[in-house]
Copies of this chain bind each other. A is one copy, B any other.
Amino acid sequence: MSAPRRRIAFLLAQLGADATAAFEKAIAPLNVTASEAGMLRLVGRQPGITQKAAGEHLGVGPSRVVAVLDQLEQQSYVERRRSASDRRSHEIHLTTSGTRLLAKLRPIAERHERTFTEMLNGAELDQLGAHLETMAAARGLSLDVHRNTHDRS
């Protein structure tokens, strides 16, 4: 059918906003925002990543990267190190306390995922995940930021 009576895009917008708000709320006790948590995960997975590369992965501009890193660095969760090969660029690394924070974030993210998926069974989630990944790939969204723990396959 070419006349779309379905409301997929609308449902995605609704559920996506709800997921983001719920995640923000879940991690608020750790005094980090979703932006900061996303950056922490990325840096944990790719230590030494440059700010430019981080911005591309996260889909945000350079000035937003600066703001997020300023916040994280001020709380001593990450540090910027000037690259030896190209002194214009900064390599971002987790500190010990950043690594500890990331470890605390993981179970919260898992619980968050469970609250969003508990109403569907395993087969349904496999279908849903496959379709969402197909859509995300077709839309050119990068998907690797979140897969940094045990489910890399």
Contact = CB atoms under 8 A, between A and B. Distances in A.
A7 B122 contact: no
A4 B143 contact: no
A1 B110 CA distance: 12
Nearest to A107: B4
A34 to B, nearest CB: 8
Contacts of A7: 113, 129, 133, 143, 146-147, 151-152
Interface residues of A, number: 58
Given A9-B152, A124-B131, A141 B110 contact: no
Nearest to A127: B127
Contact of A132 (B12, B109, B111, B148): B12
